[in-house]
Amino acid sequence: MKRNLLLRSSLVVMAFALALGSTACKSKKKAQQQVITPSSEGEIEVKLFCSGSEFFSTKEAFRANAVGESMDQNTSKRKALNEARTQLASSIQTTIKATTDNYVNSREFNNKEEVLERFESLSREVVNQELNGTRTICERLTKTPQGTFKTYIAIELASEDMFKKVSDRLSKDERLRVDYDYEKFKQTFDKEMEKLEKSRP
């Protein structure tokens, strides 16, 4: 009788121990399977309008985007537009500079330094004039909990239009037109536009 009682007690204790072990294993597996995500860490995803791959520069167009914030709705738009134009101008000038550098260095000019200076000077003039012809491709307006306005904007300028304006200006310049080769300059420009497209994130 005592033996039976001892045997039963031992079996109950063993069953209890097995049940505890099984629960512990399950909770360990659950802990291992639990994935830590930004939201579980308290982070919140921020939606940035007028941004993303469709607003990157391509071979066909220079593009830029920006955000402007102000207590005044119109001022927020003006800030965004000014910032986007500044970015666009920088991107265009970098590309045009690389084009003129490569073009001049591939040609036989008596005074390369002087020719390069002239090319860059004329190109800058054209870029500054042409920025007024930019096209808005995305615009969103939001109001923050603090009561300020935020304007998200993306603009573009067709690379072909930009090239034509620069090329026209160079071909009409008295000091450059004799040695200016449209086809060679266009070929160099197209290569730079391909590099710009490939360099995007």
Tens of pLDDT, residue by residue over 25-39, are 544 444 445 666 666
Distance CA 41, CA 38 (A): 5
List the chain domain ranges.
1-45, 53-198
How far apart (Å, rounded) are the C-alpha atoms in residues 55 and 47? 15
pLDDT in tens, 96-137: 999 989 988 888 777 778 888 888 888 888 888 888 789 999
**φ, ψ (nearest 5 deg) of residue 122:** -65, -40
Is residue 49 pLDDT above 60, yes or no?
yes
Better-scored residue on pLDDT, 9 or 163: 163
Q: Tell me the pTM.
A: 0.74
> Residues 50, 156: contact at Cβ < 8 Å?
no
Mean predicted confidence (pLDDT) in 176-194: 88
Host H or E run for residue 171: helix 159-171
